[in-house]
Structure 1
Amino acid sequence: MRAISGLWRWRHNPLRRATDLAEAWVALAALLLILVVTPVAGVLVGGVAQDALQDSVRNQRASRHLVTATVNRKLDRSPLDADPETSTGRELRTRVLAHWTAPDGTAQHGSVMASLKDPRSGDRFTIWTDAQGHLVARPLDSATATTHAVLAGFGAALLGTGLIETARRLIVWRMVRRRYARWDQAWDRAGPDWGRTGTGS
């Protein structure tokens, strides 16, 4: 709005300089770019991110399997394990030695984090593995992928806005520097006679 009011103010003003009008036009162009280009960029980036993330969701669902593991014994706590006194019930996990059968039928065993409060030998819990039975992270779900895509779109729009505003400020800064340089040249042309009496002025 400031750019539009600036253009209107300088339209027929006798004190208007060419640089004043140019600054107002630069501001208006930046405003239009921010209002038109950055939302489009955000939508495009968000759409590309959504497609890529949903492909990743499908691939992870196809390659990761939920299997049931059986506790052999509880292992000593590691310094990297969550503190049971500061963890919520959802985050509480205990390191155990367990065994499980991989989707390809091979027997596997190893140290895993179990979502059991007080694991005992024979307790069962679920873990995510690949086709060979190696532990993997839980697959990305569709809602989380969509959230990441939306955030990527917002980030692209904000980045575009920042770049446009930076370009506007740089252009105006250069215009002001040029104006100051012209003022310096005008003062130099006035020379040492500026303000003296009897110099023909």
Structure 2
Amino acid sequence: MAHGKRTKKWFWRWRNNPLRRRDDIAEAWIMLALCALVAVGGTAVGLVTAHATDETLARLRSDRRSTHAVLLTDASKHVSAVRSSGDKVSASVRWTTPDGSARTGRTLVDTGLNAGARVVVWQDSHGKLTTAPPSAGEAAVEAGVLGTAAGLALTGAVLGVGAVVRWRLDRQRIDSWGREWDLAGPQWGHRTG
């Protein structure tokens, strides 16, 4: 029985009721449309974003290659506190690009290595040094997080629009009640106690 009462409360705007106004019906349909947009649109936006992110990160994995480089300078912790990151420090290295040419540049390497040591560096298809691409597992997590964030962003925007619409409809109802009271109030007279 309690479930039936809750259902009646939920759908009261669609029931025939002499107190129901056009604004009530408009609000009911708008809120239903916004709920559908959240359910369908939020899911679609989340899935599309996750898929696009996964494809982008897969392209990064296929574009970037690891190669061995020779350390040209010692990598001590005292080299540059500004350019260090945790247990890594910026150092000069020499590597061979995919087209066979030799290049030099700076990248982060483990501290404590001496000049001449071999280190693994990552390069793009043009032979420029870059960071390691995310693994397939890291890419899946990042795609999931970004997809969820995109779905939630759409949901937040839709809920914001819904709140503005409801506020506007409430203002219209209050103004309408005020106009009707201005007409009906004087007819009641000044009765006291």
Common fold by TM > 0.5: yes
Give yes or no for the alignment of 1:128 onto 2:122.
yes
Name the aligned partner's letter for residue 124 of structure 1: R
Give yes or no for the alignment of 1:104 onto 2:99.
yes
Distance in 2 between residues matched to 1:191 and 1:37, nearest whole Å: 47
Q: Which of 10, 16, 32 is matched with 1:6 structurally? A: 10
Distance in 1 between residues matched to 2:34 and 2:123, nearest whole Å: 51
Distance in 2 between residues matched to 1:130 and 1:33, nearest whole Å: 41
Give yes or no for the alignment of 1:151 onto 2:153.
no
Distance in 2 between residues matched to 1:81 and 1:145, nearest whole Å: 27
Q: Are the aligned partners of 1:65 and 1:129 in contact in 2 as well (CA < 8 Å)?
A: yes
Map of 2:83 onto structure 1: 81
Distance in 2 between residues matched to 1:44 and 1:130, nearest whole Å: 26
Query: Bigger CA drift: 20-29 or 149-158?
Result: 20-29
Q: Which of 24, 29, 34 is matched with 1:30 structurally? A: 34
Alignment of 1:1-201 (within 5 A): 5-8=9-12, 11=15, 15-58=19-62, 60-61=63-64, 64-74=65-75, 76-82=78-84, 87=86, 92-115=87-110, 117-130=111-124, 133-190=127-184, 195-196=189-190
Distance in 2 between residues matched to 1:152 and 1:3, nearest whole Å: 36
Q: Are the aligned partners of 2:66 and 2:120 in contact in 1 as well (CA < 8 Å)?
A: no
* Number of residue pairs aligned between Structure 1 and Structure 2: 186
Name the aligned partner's letter for residue 71 of structure 2: T
Unpaired runs of 5+ residues, structure 1, are none
| Normalised TM-score (structure 1) | 0.69
| Normalised TM-score (structure 2) | 0.71
CA apart distance, 1:194: 5.9
CA RMSD in angstroms comes to 3.5
Name the aligned partner's letter for residue 183 of structure 2: R
CA apart distance, 1:127: 1.5
Q: Are the aligned partners of 2:71 and 2:114 in contact in 1 as well (CA < 8 Å)?
A: no
CA apart distance, 1:158: 0.9
Distance in 2 between residues matched to 1:41 and 1:141, nearest whole Å: 24
Q: Identity percentage over the alignment? A: 31
Q: Secondary structure at the match of 1:73?
A: coil
CA apart distance, 1:72: 3.7
